[in-house]
Structure 1
């Protein structure tokens, strides 16, 4: 089976992961989720409201206006261990050119779009949003400035069902090339979200989410975000024994 057949509708010029890349990512995700009790305990530690991790606060800190980026969004992103430079903050919040460009992109991307089923135009608009956010965050005085992690985390807060939180730990776990295109990365995650077995294991892991003390944790994040947390906590070998 050609890989694009399992990925749904894809923009014509996007770099499509080959079958080997899709299989490697799926195997890694299955390894992270196969023990749903362990995966659930890790989710529980991450989402424990009394714990040290960002948990649901990254998504729930208010306001979270789907049509614009505010100071609350920037604060939420810092909870995921990224730093925002003052100049980047000013461009996103105060610079009319950057702020208006990002708002136009946000309005073009449906709030309820999800990565598994999004059509090609939605993916194209999402890519344009990511590009504008990254340009606003980049240091114009540094030719090699590439704030891809911060841009990914900021965009993921605004469209949590559509855009994955990309970071080096998860990319390495999924065997994604170091300098991979974000569109290629998104399609890797799309393949995972369209996989019935992974969705089932993810559901079971959420059902098993407990704190270190054994208390039940209600994980209400988007499935895409929960998958990212499950992969990240597995990648860092979070001790949940």
Structure 2
């Protein structure tokens, strides 16, 4: 599948500048983008002692991506459905990178009958009326499995043509990462050149670069002028 030009070989330096901008600190030492705290807050969602449970720190981290979890959803996730959530998390590999998922293993790990898909259904609260929605749900899940599961939002969804359910979206990300065009290697190089210290996953690098590219924030406008297909 074609990916946005910002992620091709000719724009690695530009992508690295976007990533570095996202992690920039203000003169007062505060994050220029609070989302830069999403992965590292509280030691990270995949820290060994919390890897198979969702904690208040995870919900705080999600709020850094402008996705507050409503009180009824928080209560369900942290209390009434906590055991089920932990059971499903325990069945989702924490150390598996999406780019390393073999084609014949995709359905087992990320398909419609997988524990990841089941967890997505539980967290979305469709049966309980929590009203989490696809974006909030993806941000909770990506916090817990940052190597395997991507964040979803409308800006990135538009750029990646993500217009189906979660398994379809995961399939599209997986195809981009495993189609032999070297995207994982480019994402690692983007991370290296950006000089950020947070060891975020390749799919998080991809998400941030696409989000910065797709939203047209003031800090990044100058960087996109020479990128083919830029919307801004």
TM-score > 0.5, shorter chain as reference = yes
Report the Cα offset of residue 51 of structure 1.
3.0
After TM superposition, the structure 1 = structure 2 runs for residues 59-74 of structure 1, keeping only pairs within 5 Å, are 59-62=39-42, 64=45, 65-74=50-59
Higher RCO, 1 vs 2 (CA within 8 Å, ≥6 residues apart): 1
Within 2, Cα distance between the matches of 1:48 and 1:146?
A: 30
Q: More displaced, 42-51 or 86-95? A: 42-51
Counterpart for residue 116 of structure 2:
126
Q: Deviations over 1:87-107 (max 9, x none)?
A: 111111122xx1111111001
Counterpart for residue 148 of structure 1:
134
Q: Which consecutive unaligned segments of at least 5 residues does structure 1 have?
A: 1-22, 210-215
Matched-pair contact (CA < 8 Å) for 1:193–1:199: yes
Within 1, Cα distance between the matches of 2:55 and 2:132?
A: 22
Counterpart for residue 44 of structure 1:
20
Report the Cα offset of residue 140 of structure 1.
4.1
Counterpart for residue 228 of structure 2:
none
Change (3 A) 1:99 1:86: same
Within 1, Cα distance between the matches of 2:35 and 2:176?
A: 22
The count of residues paired between Structure 1 and Structure 2 equals 202
Q: Deviations over 1:89-141 (max 9, x none)?
A: 1111122xx11111110011121122123323222121112111112xx5845
Counterpart for residue 14 of structure 1:
none
Report the Cα offset of residue 56 of structure 1.
4.3
Tell me the C-alpha RMSD between the 2 structures: 2.1
Counterpart for residue 58 of structure 1:
38
With normalisation by structure 1, the TM-score equals 0.76
Within 2, Cα distance between the matches of 1:159 and 1:205?
A: 21
Matched-pair contact (CA < 8 Å) for 1:45–1:51: no
Within 2, Cα distance between the matches of 1:83 and 1:104?
A: 24
Within 1, Cα distance between the matches of 2:216 and 2:14?
A: 11
After TM superposition, the structure 1 = structure 2 runs for residues 154-233 of structure 1, keeping only pairs within 5 Å, are 154-177=140-163, 180-195=164-179, 196-209=181-194, 216-233=195-212
Q: Which consecutive unaligned segments of at least 5 residues does structure 2 have?
A: 223-232
Q: Deviations over 1:130-159 (max 9, x none)?
A: 111112xx58458xx461110100000000
Report the Cα offset of residue 204 of structure 1.
2.8
Counterpart for residue 4 of structure 1:
none
Report the Cα offset of residue 227 of structure 1.
0.8
After TM superposition, the structure 1 = structure 2 runs for residues 91-102 of structure 1, keeping only pairs within 5 Å, are 91-95=76-80, 98-102=81-85
With normalisation by structure 2, the TM-score equals 0.79
Q: 3-state DSSP class of the match of 1:27?
A: coil
